[in-house]
Amino acid sequence: MFKKILIANRGEIAVRVIRACREMKIIPVAVYSEADRKALHVRLAEEAYFIGEAKPSESYLHVEKIIATAKRCGAEAIHPGYGFLAENPRLVKCCEEEGITFIGPPSEPLEVMGEKTSARRKMAAAGVPIIPGTLESVADERELREKAREVGFPLLLKASAGGGGKGLRFVQKEKDLLPAFKLARSEALSSFADPAVYIEKYIEEPHHIEIQILADNFGSVVYLGERECSMQRRYQKVLEETPSPFLDEETREAMGRVAVKAAASIGYRNAGTVEFVVDRDRKFYFLEVNARLQVEHPITEMVTGIDLVKCQLEIAAGSPLPFRQEEVRPQGHSMECRIMAEDPFNDFMPSPGKIVYLHTPAGLGVRDDSGIYEGYEVPLDYDPLLSKLITWGKTREEAILRMRRALSEYQVYGIKTTIPFFQRILLHPRFLAGAYNTHFIAELEKEPDREDPAEEIAALIAAGIKSRRDAQTGVSSHGKSKEKNWRIQGRLENFAKRL
Amino acid sequence: MFKKILIANRGEIAVRVIRACREMKIIPVAVYSEADRKALHVRLAEEAYFIGEAKPSESYLHVEKIIATAKRCGAEAIHPGYGFLAENPRLVKCCEEEGITFIGPPSEPLEVMGEKTSARRKMAAAGVPIIPGTLESVADERELREKAREVGFPLLLKASAGGGGKGLRFVQKEKDLLPAFKLARSEALSSFADPAVYIEKYIEEPHHIEIQILADNFGSVVYLGERECSMQRRYQKVLEETPSPFLDEETREAMGRVAVKAAASIGYRNAGTVEFVVDRDRKFYFLEVNARLQVEHPITEMVTGIDLVKCQLEIAAGSPLPFRQEEVRPQGHSMECRIMAEDPFNDFMPSPGKIVYLHTPAGLGVRDDSGIYEGYEVPLDYDPLLSKLITWGKTREEAILRMRRALSEYQVYGIKTTIPFFQRILLHPRFLAGAYNTHFIAELEKEPDREDPAEEIAALIAAGIKSRRDAQTGVSSHGKSKEKNWRIQGRLENFAKRL
Amino acid sequence: MNFLFWLGQKEVKVSLEAVGDNLLRVSVGDTAHDVSAEFIGQEEILLNVDGRIFNVIVHSDSLSHSVFINGRLFRIEKRSALKILREEKGRQKKRDVKTTMPGRVVQVLAAPGDGVQEGQPVLVLEAMKMQNEIKAPQAGQLARVCFRAGEYVEAGSVLFTVE
Amino acid sequence: MNFLFWLGQKEVKVSLEAVGDNLLRVSVGDTAHDVSAEFIGQEEILLNVDGRIFNVIVHSDSLSHSVFINGRLFRIEKRSALKILREEKGRQKKRDVKTTMPGRVVQVLAAPGDGVQEGQPVLVLEAMKMQNEIKAPQAGQLARVCFRAGEYVEAGSVLFTVE
């Protein structure tokens, strides 16, 4: 096994990998940008090196700096996390040249899968069902119009280099096509340094369901069940659960087998995810391979008891998979809420800034994979993901009730978060019934929000108490003396006895 | 199921029960003493009522106040946690009279088991192996000497009303007998309001291993595996794990069967624990029944996936056990460290006071059952247990490595804690080999402590940096302006562009 | 002790009376509540209202209390509702559009002097890897645009003004 | 910038030199280290020593820095070791026994004027439900006992004095 690993990422996923390293007696090495000098992943690492400006291209996306840092500190391997360089074939090639192990797939499947159109061509050839649409990215506006008419509306424009909902646009009618194309290209360029966009037929009432796979270097590929990822807002996943309340056992197994076939057909190695769109009749279509650890990997860990990051390290170190398909037996139910620095009461505007107050939930069946701490200043330069709150329950109902309990304990003040938004989702009858698809949140946002009159009264009382305190004394002094009064009681008892 | 439950306890166990209630849509009602006005269990409850002075006899031990509060707020049941009134037959009787459900066993087995000597008599009669010693408590000093000679030295003096190591003394030789007797009686009186003490033969190289049982109101009794509780300091458990690295499968099953027999023989109901002493030849003797939830119950939850507090509530509400013995299949390994407000570098002196700084560990396989928060003032009036840090791993090795990782993240400043002590235990070859009994810690304390010269150097560097900052500017102002400098960069970039 | 607050457009009278050690009688409008309150730190209050527990954070300035409960923020004004209303009307003629988030201007979609519709995007602001269109809050003429593409914007900055 | 500290009985010279943005060269005794330090709050420092990370809390007063790292507390004195030694010798003649914990005196086991052995229990202090015997740190005569059974004791109080 490796002695030292460099983690070429930040935030909660860097923390996640650091924890796995520490549990394997591997020295975890963090890298950090100017904006991350005080970040949690730096605090929890054993070693940490500064790599440049806040701008990702100068730090977390800078292949040469990452490689140089790994060589300088003697790291034998690099874990890329997700995002940034996670699916960048150039990093993989540089690693190969420098004799550093890249913890992920080799460069060939990365190249095939990283470009979504080549992935579609490859999968179609391997007999994996794909969504109707273009097999190449769209060259110009003329071709756009032409191909769009062929595919038919509504349709999706997708970044060829994309993933994670960036550079993705839904187009209802032809008149929206051109502005959507421009925005998709601009976002794709800014996110992936590649503006190429292709067209896919839009599946009605779609479910996004993905299969986790693990592939070792000895030809063994297994799937670890599915993740229901249909709870999306603006094509971004916000809540995931496993098992999917929508799938039946037959479809689940069929998808697992197809995922293994898809991975095997491209010589995939290490942990990966095969994403599918499933229509209302439970017909499923290949969407993409995420050639990395997914944000939502923890829910699979919770039901299978398998530590996916440790598996990644073991596979990369050349170990064979320690279990076979029939030994994977998921237990219970797990879900994850992505706590984002966004204001759900103001159109989910990003909300970077200082966390002045933080209480995190804990206890049985609750896992908080977080990248923040009290006093931390969330930078505006990166993803708004603060933390992933994960629960496990014997049943879906228990996992939901536990999530509600955990959310009620989770308090973040100083910046806005999506916690109240999840509280809304977790009380919604359609969510409770498991009857939601990717349209759910858009529909939810049209409904009136819950209101608790008791909270309003408590707020007014709190304002009154604060005003009273401010009026009676200077701010703070009164409360302190009051506090002291209670502590003084023991002493008074003593004095009384002596007199 | 109940709609509202009063939790007649404080600290982490009150928090534990509150969480279970919230996950079952039951309204959890907290009670609190003067010292606990700001306690975490109050903060996490939905309702909370003040019940009196810090002194336990005026609050958490005051049966009438507890009952009156339950009636006033309409609670249909009372959960006693552990300690305080958890094994108090008077509370159970008052509940029975007032039509309130007591979440625990009925009063008869409580009475039999609460008094350790009557428990020994009862178990001996039921054919359960007991440790040689007196079947009655010792009346006076003459009888003490006489019976002690009969049993033989070394021996243990134990509080008849006792549990949790309080009122317990080890007596090596006859000359130590009388002082130990006096201290044991005094501690027993102060802890249990009953000075009675009895004698037990001391088992050499003993293991303390307990079996968790659950008994419903329909005659069904199951055991949920064992907990190895031999890691003790001054007869107080400090670290527990399951499964025991000492037991073989045969002994494990035999102990389970005996535990079920013991529970059935006294008409036990609800969750309980049968404690055994196991000698070096794996012969086991009944020690006591803990007629309550144990501090260390979480490790059983981690390996079985069964929520013991929810089971308690369901049994109390009249539901039958939802599983049978053969369906209980523990998976993996779990251990718990009791994080105490004690100074391991100063003879484990209690260390109450204000927690000025707190970082808690999190992530896969880590559970922190805590009763504290940053800013909380740990009162001197109660138990020094701050939190229970629990890890789960596929193997014992993984659970240990994960615990080391979690302890490395756990930072409490303002009061002293036993965290560094656990770090020592978790690196010790004998612990790693699983080869320890109840003497381990006493032996460990004679060994020199680990030292990390890098920490000393870092401390000196930190002192230098702090001195430099204090010298260069007034305290604080310099650091702030520095912080601002970094944030100002974005603005400067803007200004530069405009010029 | 009596206070007059404004929440939304409602005026609410809140009066407090100490009735014992750590116990207050608090009336909100016509309804009275038994309240105890523990300050934890400067801004955090553990509030017990008729037995029910609320963990509250109150951040105050001279004009208002921002009260944070269960993830919701209540802005409780110390000024009269009338005054706020008047200010809002004043604003409707000439409206400054501020940003609540810091970020980088990616694109400016309209120029000073252009006519804009209500809801029409005026510029695109990027923060935390997401591009957000900032829209005109009312129809009118764009009086000014304060930033150019590529510039950094701080929270609270005026982005543009619609007349 | 140079400082002289005392840790245990050792005297250590620590010198700091700024060598770049956020980068210091720090010598501890004869060994030099590349250090960067980030203050988080007033007392917390995220320390990077030659790449290795330490989360440190430094609580300072006029005499010393109390440095807390990985659960260990290092008391780094600003005064000379000689001075500390001298004080300790002074104390050995007449030794005040203080308590580091608050608690309640349960029992007093010896009276002023009694001769005591080193390690002999003088009183029993209860805190957090545990009874702790407080022992004489040296042989001698008990000069005074400052509390009676049942009394509350604050942290830092002198419990008794051995001459």
DSSP letters, D73-104, are EEEEESS-HHHHHHHHHHHHHSEEEE-SS-EE
Three-state DSSP at D115 gives strand
Domain count, chain D: 2
**Predicted confidence (pLDDT) at residue B490 exceeds the cutoff of 70:** no
Beta-sheet strand order (sheet of D103-108): D130-135, D121-127, D103-108, D152-153
Last residue of a domain, one of B86, B103, B120: B103
| Shared-domain flag, residues C13 and C75 | yes
Asked if D9 and B442 count as a contact pair (C-beta separation under 8 A), the reply is no
Q: Do B47 and C52 make contact, defined as CB atoms within 8 angstroms? A: yes
CA of A43 vs chain D CAs: smallest distance (Å)? 7
Q: Does B80 touch chain A (CB under 8 A)?
A: no
DSSP conformation letters of A478-496: HHHHHHHHHHHHHHHHHHH
pLDDT for position B265: 94
- Best A302, A335, A359, A364 member to test B by mutation, with max B CBs in 10 Å, is A364
Same domain, A56 and A79: yes
Higher pLDDT, residue D99 or B25: B25
Q: What's the rounded mean pLDDT across residues B210-233?
A: 97
Is the same domain home to D100 and D77?
no
What's the confidence (pLDDT) of residue B1? 95
Q: If we measure between CA atoms, which residue out of A155, A163, A158 comes closest to residue A136?
A: A158
**Partners of A197 in beta bridges:** A159
CA distance D4 to chain B (A): 9
Q: Which amino acid is at D155?
A: A
- A113, part of any domain: no
Contact B368, B361 (CB under 8 A): yes
**Quick one: which of D125, D87, D86 has its CA closest to D105?**
D125
What pLDDT, in 10s, does the model give residues D103-153?
A: 889 889 999 999 999 889 999 988 887 788 888 888 889 999 999 988 888
Residues of D in contact with A374 (CB under 8 A): none
Give the containing element (helix H, strand E) for A186. Answer: helix A177-192
Using only the alpha carbons of chain A, give its radius of gyration: 25
Rounded-to-integer distance, Cα D37 and Cα D52, Å: 12
Do both D111 and D72 map to the same domain?
Answer: no
**Mutation test of the interface with chain B: which of C40, C50, C57, C159, choosing the one with the most B Cβ atoms within 10 A?**
C40
In a shared domain, residues A83 and A230: no
CA triplet B283, B287, B288: central angle to 5 degrees? 145
Mean pLDDT of B284-294: 94
Q: Side-chain half-sphere of A39: how many Cα atoms within 13 Å?
A: 29
CA distance A296 to chain C (A): 19
C65–chain A Cβ distance below 8 A for any pair: yes
**pLDDT, tens digit (0-9, with 9 covering 90-100), for B393-410:** 999 999 999 999 999 999
**Can you give the pLDDT at residue C93?**
66
- Please, which residues have CB within 8 angstroms of residue D150's CB and are 6 or more apart in sequence? A497, D104, D105
- Here the CATH number for the domain that contains residue D52 is 3.30.700.30
Distances in Å between the Cα of B109 and the Cα atoms of A254, B33, B59, B164, B266 are: 55, 30, 25, 19, 6
Q: What percent of chain D has pLDDT over 90?
A: 48
Residues with Cβ within 8 Å of residue C21, at least 6 apart in sequence: none
- Asked if residue C90 belongs to a domain, the reply is no
Instruction: Quote the pLDDT of residue C86.
Output: 66
Residues of B with Cβ-Cβ distance to D46 under 8 angstroms: none
* Per-residue pLDDT, D100: 75
pLDDT of residue C126: 86
**Lowest mean pLDDT, pick from A288-292, A447-451, C47-51, C73-77:** A447-451
D107 with D63, same domain: the answer is no
Q: Is the peptide bond before B154 cis (omega within 30 degrees of 0)?
A: yes
Can you point out the beta strands (E) in B371-434?
Answer: 377-378, 385-393, 411-413
Question: Which pLDDT belongs to residue B497?
Answer: 45
Residues C24, C79 within the same domain: yes
Mean pLDDT estimate for chain A: 92
One domain, residues D81 and D37: yes
Q: What is the pLDDT of residue D132?
A: 83
Q: Domain end: A178, A201, A224, which one?
A: A201
What is the number of alpha carbons within 13 Å of residue A5 lying toward its C-beta? 33
- pLDDT tens-digit readout, B259-274: 999 999 999 999 999 9
User: Do C67 and C121 belong to one domain?
Assistant: no
Q: Per-residue pLDDT tens for A57-95?
A: 999 999 999 999 999 999 999 999 999 999 999 999 999
Residue A111 in domain: no
Count of CB atoms situated within 10 Å of the CB of A347 = 11
Q: Measured between alpha carbons, how far is A391 from B175 in angstroms, rounded to an integer?
A: 57
% pLDDT > 90, chain A: 83
Domain assignment present for B108: no
Closest-CA residue to D16 (of D8, D5, D28, D26): D26
Regarding whether A253 and A376 lie in a shared domain, the answer is yes
- The CA distance from B83 to B14, in Å, is 11
B235-264 average pLDDT score = 96
Residue closest to A233 by CA, chosen among A153, A338, A335: A338
Counting the structural domains of chain B, the total is: 4
Instruction: Please list the residues that pair with A383 across neighbouring strands.
Output: none
CA atoms within 13 A on the CB side of D147: 27
Tell me: do D76 and D110 sit in the same domain.
no
* Number of residues in chain A: 499
Residue A464: how many other CB atoms lie within 10 Å? 27
Mean pLDDT of B373-385: 94
Does residue B47 belong to the interface with chain A, where contact is any CB pair within 8 Å? no
Q: DSSP of A425-492, one letter per residue?
A: HTT-HHHHTT---TTHHHHHTTSPPP--HHHHHHHHHHHHHHHHHHHHSSTTHHHHHHHHHHHHHHHH
**pLDDT at position D154 over 60:** yes
The CATH code of the domain that includes A177 is: 3.30.1490.20
Instruction: Please give the pLDDT value at position B495.
Output: 43
Report the greatest alpha carbon distance in chain C.
64
- Mean pLDDT, residues A440-451 taken together: 88
CA dist., res. B480 & res. B452, Å (int): 32
- pLDDT by residue (tens digit) across D7-27? 987 899 999 999 987 899 999
Flag whether pLDDT at A491 surpasses 70.
no
Out of B39-48, C58-67, D76-85, pick the least confident: D76-85
Structural domain contains residue D125: yes
Q: Choose one of C65, C85, C105: the last residue of a domain.
A: C85
The confidence band for B431, taking pLDDT boundaries of 50, 70 and 90, is: very high
Domain that holds residue D13: 2-85
Q: Which two tokens stand for residue B479?
A: 């650091």
Q: Which of B127, B126, B328 is nearest to B226 (CA)?
A: B328
The answer on D78 and D6 residing in a single domain is yes
Residue B338 lies in a domain: yes
Measured between alpha carbons, how far is A282 from A203 in angstroms, rounded to an integer?
12
pLDDT score for B485: 39
Binning pLDDT at 50, 70 and 90, where does residue A388 land?
very high
We report the CATH number of the domain holding residue C152 as 2.40.50.100
- Give the whole-angstrom CA distance, residue A359 versus residue A407: 10
If asked whether residues C104 and C73 sit together in one domain, one would say no
Task: Check pLDDT > 70 for residue A96.
Answer: yes
Give per-residue pLDDT as tens, B89-104.
999 999 999 999 999 9
Are B461 and B436 within one domain? no
Does A464 contact C100 at a Cβ distance shorter than 8 Å? no
Give the C-alpha separation, B145 to B150, whole Å: 9
Considering only CB atoms, which chain A residues are within 8 Å of B363? 15-16, 19, 367-369
D49 with D106, same domain: the answer is no
Q: Considering the domain boundaries, does residue A123 fall inside one?
A: no
**Are A439 and A463 contained in the same domain?**
no
From chain C, the residues in CB contact with A468 under 8 A are: 1, 3, 16
Task: Read off the pLDDT of each residue in B425-443 and give the average, rounded to a whole number.
Answer: 95
Q: Report yes or no for ipTM above 0.85.
A: yes
Q: What DSSP element (H or E) covers C83? A: helix C81-93
Asked if residue B389 lies in contact with residue B361, where contact means CB atoms within 8 angstroms, the answer is: yes
Asked if D53 is an interface residue toward chain B (Cβ–Cβ < 8 A), one would say: no
What percentage of residues in chain B have a pLDDT greater than 90?
83
- Please tell me the distance from the alpha carbon of residue B111 to that of residue A132, in angstroms, as a whole number: 74
Residue D147 lies in a domain: yes
Q: Tens of pLDDT along D94-103? A: 788 888 778 8
pLDDT band at B480 (very low <50, low <70, confident <90, very high): very low
- Return d(Cα C78, Cα C82) in angstroms, integer: 12
Contact C52 B38 (CB under 8 A): no
**Same domain flag for D8 and D74:** yes
Greater confidence, C133 or B431? B431
Chain B touched by A373 (CB under 8 Å): yes
Strands C10-20 and C23-28: antiparallel
Residues 6+ apart with CB under 8 A from B129: B258, B283, B284, B285, B286
- The answer to whether the beta carbons of residues A31 and A60 sit under 8 Å apart is yes
Return the residue matching tokens 């080193």: D118
Nearest chain A Cα distance for residue C32, angstroms: 10
Domain end, chosen from C28, C57, C85, is at: C85
- Whether the pLDDT of residue B243 is over 50: the answer is yes
B414 and B430 within one domain: yes
In a domain, D90, yes or no: no
- Answer whether residue B120 is part of any domain: no
The residue of chain C with its CA nearest to that of A466 is C58
| pLDDT beyond 80 at B433 | yes
Query: Do residue A247 and residue A356 come from a single domain?
Result: yes
**Interatomic CA distance for residues A36 and A284, integer angstroms:** 41
What is residue A499's predicted lDDT score, i.e. its pLDDT?
Answer: 41
Q: Is residue D40 part of a domain?
A: yes
- Strands D52-60, C152-153: pairing is unpaired
Please, which pLDDT band fits residue A164 given cuts at 50, 70 and 90? low
Q: Looking at the structure, tell me whether residues A96 and A220 fall in a common domain.
A: no
D63, D85, D107 - which closes a domain: D85
pLDDT tens digits for B297-348?
999 999 999 999 999 999 999 999 999 999 999 999 999 999 999 999 888 9
Note whether A360 and A386 are same-domain residues. yes
Whether B266 and B236 share a structural domain: yes
Residues A426 and A368 in one domain: yes
- pLDDT (0 to 100) of residue B368: 98
Query: How confident is the model over D37-75, as pLDDT tens digits?
Result: 999 888 899 999 999 999 999 999 888 999 999 888 899
Task: Tell me which residue in B42, B493, B497 faces C46 most closely, judged by beta carbons.
Answer: B42
Of A146, A174, A201, the residue that ends a domain is A201
C91 pLDDT tier (thresholds 50, 70, 90): low
pLDDT tier for residue B491 given thresholds of 50, 70 and 90:
very low
Nearest-angstrom CA–CA distance, A311 and C113: 60
Domain range for residue B142?
134-201
Same domain, A144 and A263: no
pTM > 0.80: yes
The pLDDT of residue B164 is: 66
